[in-house]
């Protein structure tokens, strides 16, 4: 065993991912000869994601959502604290976690089929099986007959579908999605959200989904984790008790109520962040305290 605890103790069998007391500090250096200063991006973050759960994370810009997702992916390490998957410490990226980022990140020189087959090649799946599996996922995301197209011949929504099919094809247990639909128009986004729910219900994956969209989070998730402004931590977890399937639910009163609750949590966070950071506020406070002397 390393100095870090490699196996989480007292794990509930339904706990898929456990993040414990995560802190992430960046070293900032403005000039090469300047001494680095520390920037604390995430502080005291605890979160458990259940097996098969759809968990969305929302929070003010710069609060550390992507940093946290990168740490679950194993692409970055916490400065302190641990993240476990199935009770085992995450120490790096692995094929048990699929990642879908904003901006698609497809290989431009590969066709749709070859993009979807990428993870299967790494997994050394035989070519005949690769073709069968990739076809299954291409069809699942509605791209039948586009197998031989290159990314530049596809719309934004289609590229995002390829990215989802590529992440699903090698059968990861967890799908990590970082604002995956941010680059597409509002109507395509709603279509992709509905398709993602259909795929999630079919594949039973655990999904952690970072978004700026409150509507998107409420529409998709079982629970929404609301983060504080920098340094980021979990402010509150809101359980979304809306019935599934959720087609047509956006116009319901219950949807509006829970949406408003999350909006208020974020609004309060925005105010406290502005208060913390605003130079005008600091000047005003300095003036009033000197007037009081």
Ligand X SMILES: Nc1ncnc2c1ncn2[C@@H]1O[C@H](COP(=O)(O)OP(=O)(O)OP(=O)(O)O)[C@@H](O)[C@H]1O
Nearer to ligand X, 51 or 102 (CB): 102
- 């790096």: which residue's tokens? 92
Q: Whole-angstrom Cα distance, residue 167 to residue 118?
A: 9
Among residues 36 and 286, whose Cβ is nearest to ligand X?
36
Q: In terms of DSSP bridges, do strands 88-89 and 80-85 run parallel, antiparallel, or are they unpaired?
A: antiparallel
Instruction: With beta carbons less than 8 A apart as the criterion, state whether 183 and 160 touch.
Output: yes
**Are 108 and 150 a contacting pair, CB within 8 Å?**
yes
**Minimum CB distance to ligand X smaller for 66 or for 206:** 66
Nearer to ligand X, 70 or 173 (CB): 70
Residue 53 Cβ vs ligand X, minimum distance, rounded to whole Å? 21
Reported in sequence order, the residue ranges of 78-200 that DSSP labels E, i.e. its strands, are 80-85, 88-89, 97-101, 174-178
Both tokens of residue 200?
């999630």
- Output phi, psi for 207, to 5 deg: -125, 130
Smallest separation (angstroms) from ligand X to the CB of 151: 23
Indicate the residue among 64 and 151 with the shorter CB distance to ligand X. 64
- List interacting residues with ligand X (CB under 6 A): 26, 28, 39, 41, 59, 61-67, 230
Report in angstroms how near the CB of residue 231 gets to ligand X at its nearest: 8
Minimum distance of ligand X from residue 57's CB (angstroms): 9
Could you tell me the smallest distance in angstroms from the CB atom of residue 149 to ligand X?
Answer: 30
Q: What whole-number distance in Å separates Cα of residue 248 and Cα of residue 154?
A: 28
First to last CA, the chain: 59
């Amino acid at each position: 065993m390393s100095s870090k605890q490699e196996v989480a103790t007292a794990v509930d069998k339904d706990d898929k991912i456990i993040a414990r007391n995560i802190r992430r500090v960046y070293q900032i250096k403005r000039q090469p000869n300047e001494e680095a200063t520390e920037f604390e991006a995430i502080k005291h973050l605890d979160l458990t994601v259940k097996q098969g759960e759809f968990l969305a994370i929302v929070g003010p810009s710069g609060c550390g959502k992507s940093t946290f997702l990168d740490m679950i992916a194993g692409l970055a390490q916490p400065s302190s604290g641990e993240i476990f998957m199935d009770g085992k410490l995450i120490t790096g990226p692995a094929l048990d976690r699929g990642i879908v980022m904003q901006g698609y990140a497809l290989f431009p020189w590969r066709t749709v089929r070859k993009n979807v087959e990428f993870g299967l090649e790494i997994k050394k799946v035989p070519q005949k099986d690769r073709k069968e599996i990739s076809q299954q996922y291409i069809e699942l995301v509605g791209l039948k007959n586009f197998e031989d197209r290159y990314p530049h011949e596809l719309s934004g929504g289609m590229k995002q579908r390829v990215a989802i099919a590529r992440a699903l094809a090698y059968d990861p247990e967890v799908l990590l999605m970082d604002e995956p639909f941010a680059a597409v128009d509002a109507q395509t986004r709603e279509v992709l959200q509905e398709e993602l729910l259909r795929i999630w219900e079919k594949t039973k994956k655990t999904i952690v989904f970072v978004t700026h969209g409150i509507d998107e989070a409420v529409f998709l998730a079982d629970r929404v984790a609301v983060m504080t402004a920098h340094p980021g931590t979990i402010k509150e977890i809101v359980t979304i008790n809306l019935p599934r399937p959720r087609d047509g639910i956006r116009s319901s009163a219950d949807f509006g109520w829970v949406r408003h609750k999350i909006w208020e949590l974020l609004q309060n966070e925005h105010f406290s962040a502005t208060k913390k950071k605003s130079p005008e506020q600091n000047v005003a406070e300095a003036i009033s305290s000197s007037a009081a002397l």
